[in-house]
A = this chain, B = another copy of it.
Amino acid sequence: MAKDIDPDSMHCNCPVTTTLEILGGRWKPIILYCLQDGPVRFNALKRMIPGITQRMLTLSLRELESDGLILRHVREVVPPHVDYAMSPLGESLKPVLHAMSEWGAYYRTQTAPPQATSDAA
């Protein structure tokens, strides 16, 4: 998803793809979701997202920061204290995240028949 698209071979200017490029990947949306209620520390984030590895958390955080969606705040103390928070641009993404969340939930109700209707394919 971090794939760089050459302007020369930019077949489609679809802004949806732009959005996908930014919050694509397995962990970005979850991280953003966790940050919605305020700043969170690195290890707290790791604890909130059980399956994530430190590597992926670090990489995702860096990309999110690089894309201007989150802010990284380092406090020079021992032990180190670093927390992450949404930037204004990140805040602007909230409605989108909300819409995607709503649809994802709706989708599940439409495709997850408890046990009846074997059209599970």
Could you list which residues of chain A lie within 8 angstroms of chain B, going by C-beta atoms?
3, 7-20, 22-24, 26, 29-30, 33, 49-52, 66-68, 89, 92-93, 95-97, 99-108, 110-111, 118, 120-121
**Distance to closest chain B CB from A106 (angstroms):** 7
Total identical chains:
2
Q: Is chain A's interface secondary structure helix, strand, loop, or mixed overall? A: helix
Tell me if B121 and A66 are in contact (CB < 8 A).
yes
Of the residues B12, B26, B89, B96, contact of A30 by C-beta under 8 Å: B12
With a cutoff of 8 Å between Cβ atoms, the chain B residues found around residue A16 in the complex are 29-30, 33, 97, 100-101, 104
Residue of B nearest to A108 (CB): B18
Q: Bound state CA distance, A110 and B89, in angstroms? A: 8
Of the residues B11, B50, B52, contact of A49 by C-beta under 8 Å: B11
Among A100, A105, A118, chain B packs the most CB atoms within 10 A around the CB of A100
With a cutoff of 8 Å between Cβ atoms, the chain B residues found around residue A68 in the complex are 110-111
